[in-house]
């Protein structure tokens, strides 16, 4: 089991490039050494749309992709695929990429077992689960390639207009339902919901796009910071 180190950095839900360039700025600061961390946890949806087996989609985020590929040569990076970024293993061969099916992944923080996931694994419904299974695989993406430009252009336009920052009414009830799947974990860390709050042992990370904050392990605890 991998240990989460002090000053580990958690970046969630950046939704780059449509919802600001904070993700790109952070990557540049990591590359220059202005920001330092022993571990980088990318918690999914850091790209507003990015998937493997497709060259065209990479053109929208080429600078950030290259920076991540460069950073992965010198930094331990864990990428938890989200619902906007998936099938990334071939794109980032030196990053430890976790698909939705593999998540949650168990880590160690002090004496606690920590379950880490993007956040869209549980309490999602059959329809969403089926959609994820069909879309997030090489065969589907390959079959769509003849229509890729029209589909991607249409989807990128819709995503650029989407409102992604909101207060989740009844969030505590959703957390209770999610935690039923995490009985063995002493701490749960997820993104996806853009809520920037801790509910018991459940950490809902801030969205870099919405709150402009990240998670940092400080003295063995998760804290939210603006970098």
Segment 84-117, tens digit of pLDDT: 899 999 999 999 999 999 999 999 999 999 999 9
Average pLDDT score over residue span 216-225? 96
Peptide bond into 104 cis (omega under 30): yes
Question: What tens digit of pLDDT does each residue of 174-197 get?
Answer: 999 999 999 999 999 999 999 999
Task: Quickly state the pLDDT bin for 128 (edges 50, 70, 90).
Answer: low
Model pTM score: 0.92
Farthest-apart Cα atoms in the chain, separation? 51
Question: What tens digit of pLDDT does each residue of 20-40 get?
Answer: 999 999 999 999 999 999 999
Q: Which domains does the chain have, with CATH numbers?
A: 2-225 (3.60.21.10)
pLDDT at 220 over 90: yes
pLDDT at 148 over 90: no
Average pLDDT score over residue span 156-173? 87
Predicted pLDDT at 130: 58
CA distance 63 to 61: 6
Contact partners, residue 115, CB within 8 Å, separation at least 6 = 104, 105, 106, 107, 182, 184, 185, 187, 188, 189
Q: Taken in order 120, 122, 124, 125, is the CA torsion positive or negative?
A: positive
What the block records as the tokens of 31 is 């590359």
Predicted pLDDT at 126: 65
Predicted pLDDT at 153: 80
Question: What tens digit of pLDDT does each residue of 36-70 get?
Answer: 999 999 999 999 999 888 889 999 999 999 999 99
Predicted pLDDT at 63: 97
């Amino acid at each position: 089991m991998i240990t989460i180190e002090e000053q580990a950095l958690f970046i969630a839900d950046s939704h780059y490039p449509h919802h600001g360039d904070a993700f790109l700025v952070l990557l540049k600061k990591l590359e220059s050494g202005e920001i330092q961390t022993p571990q980088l946890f990318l918690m999914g949806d850091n790209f507003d749309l990015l998937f493997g087996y497709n060259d065209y989609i990479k053109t929208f985020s080429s600078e950030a992709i290259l920076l991540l590929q460069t950073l992965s040569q010198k930094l331990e990076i864990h990428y938890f695929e989200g619902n906007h970024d998936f099938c990334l293993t071939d794109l980032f061969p030196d990053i430890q990429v976790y698909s939705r099916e593999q998540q949650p992944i168990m880590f160690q923080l002090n004496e606690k077992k920590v379950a880490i996931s993007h956040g869209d694994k549980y309490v999602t419904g059959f329809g969403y689960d089926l959609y994820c299974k069909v879309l997030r695989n090489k065969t589907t993406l390959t079959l769509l390639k003849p229509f890729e430009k029209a589909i991607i252009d249409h989807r990128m336009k819709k995503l650029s207009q989407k409102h992604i920052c909101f207060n989740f009414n009844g969030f505590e009830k959703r957390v209770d339902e999610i935690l039923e799947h995490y009985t063995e974990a002493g701490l749960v860390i997820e993104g996806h919901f853009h809520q920037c709050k801790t509910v018991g042992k459940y950490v809902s990370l801030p969205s870099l796009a919405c709150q402009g904050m990240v998670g940092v392990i400080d003295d063995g605890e998760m804290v939210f910071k603006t970098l």
